Amino acid sequence: MNEIKIKAMGKINLGLDVLRRRPDGYHEVRMIMQNVELGDTLRFVKTEEEGISIRTNKKDLPVDEQNLVYKAIRLMQEEYQLPGGIRVSLEKQIPVAAGMAGGSTDAAASLVAMNRLFNLKLTEERLRELGLKLGADVPFCIMGGTALAEGIGEMLTSLPKAPACYVLIARPDISVSTKEVYESLQEEGIVSHPDIDGMIQAIWKKNLSGVVERMENVLEAVTVKKHPVIEKIKDKMRQEGALEAMMSGSGPTVFGIFADAVSAGEAYKQIVASGLSAQTYVTRFADCGQVVLAEE
């Protein structure tokens, strides 16, 4: 096989709890991870000449060794002594640095691509192990679907498909530093913890309102304090019919859950017209982390 095209899905957190800060500085979390169909498209081509080259539609995104795609390919080349090089085209659609694991899902797709291109026959478990070297969210992006993530995000328990709904994604034009968010959380403390176990039960029962009423993200209070636009978007989504709205990850992306396509579509128009969001999409839950679109 010489080339492969993969769609790499973004994620949202339906629930995000932080349990404690470990002595090594990492935070122990309990999160409900959910893939969404909003995704990046990556095409990988084997080349005879050595090296990794990346082209992307996203201005300002590094295409050198800072790109997670680059890091993932190099990891596989070194680990398995792979010959030749790889040319990648990366079409970004997932908002960058937005709490949607865009870089992590691209890295996951790169590991999957290399496994297939070189017929390495690595198990999902091995790919998840390699993925963890690239980032805490990468193992989930390999597993995909709906999952409970514990530890620093790498201890995964697969959950059944979450109840179907429409998801409105809005990314305001602000940047948030994940490191600063966790530091502020440390100083300010956590007032209330989300009911993650209750949400898991609601997912098993396919009870959308049970899921929605337990949506909570402990990082939200910290980020909202610095960026009130996040609360404004949440309010707007609720006004426009969202069952609930919440920030994903450390932000700044906000998502709203809608019961049907019509109300999600109407809310999309209102959010765009409000000028509060710089990137707005309607999407749905995805039941996998990546899909192979073509290979030859």
Catalytic residues: 11, 137
> Is 283 an interacting residue with respect to ligand ATP (CB under 6 A)?
no
How far apart are CB 246 and ligand ATP at their closest, in Å? 14
Structure tokens at 1: 């096989």
Candidate residues 14, 34, 44, 67; the one interacting with ligand ATP per rule CB under 6 A: 67
Chain position carrying tokens 């899905």 = 9
Give, as ranges, the residues between 123 and 162 that touch ligand ATP (CB under 6 A): 137
Task: Name the residue number minimizing CB distance to ligand ATP.
Answer: 103
Nearer to ligand ATP, 240 or 281 (CB): 281
Separation CA 77–CA 74 (nearest Å): 5
Query: Residue 62 Cβ, how far from ligand ATP at the closest point, in Å?
Result: 6
Contact between 95 and 279 under an 8 Å Cβ cutoff? The reply is yes
Comparison of 153 and 240: residue with beta carbon closer to ligand ATP: 153
Which region, judged by CB under 6 A, interacts with ligand ATP, from 31-39, 102-110, 222-230, 286-294?
A: 102-110
Question: Of the candidates 19, 45, 96, 159, which one interacts with ligand ATP according to CB under 6 A?
Answer: 96
| 14 in contact with ligand ATP (CB under 6 A) | no
> 105 and 250 in contact (C-beta within 8 Å)?
no
Asked whether position 172 contacts ligand ATP by CB under 6 A, the answer is no
Which positions lie near ligand ATP, rule CB under 6 A?
Answer: 61-62, 66-69, 96-104, 106, 137, 178, 249
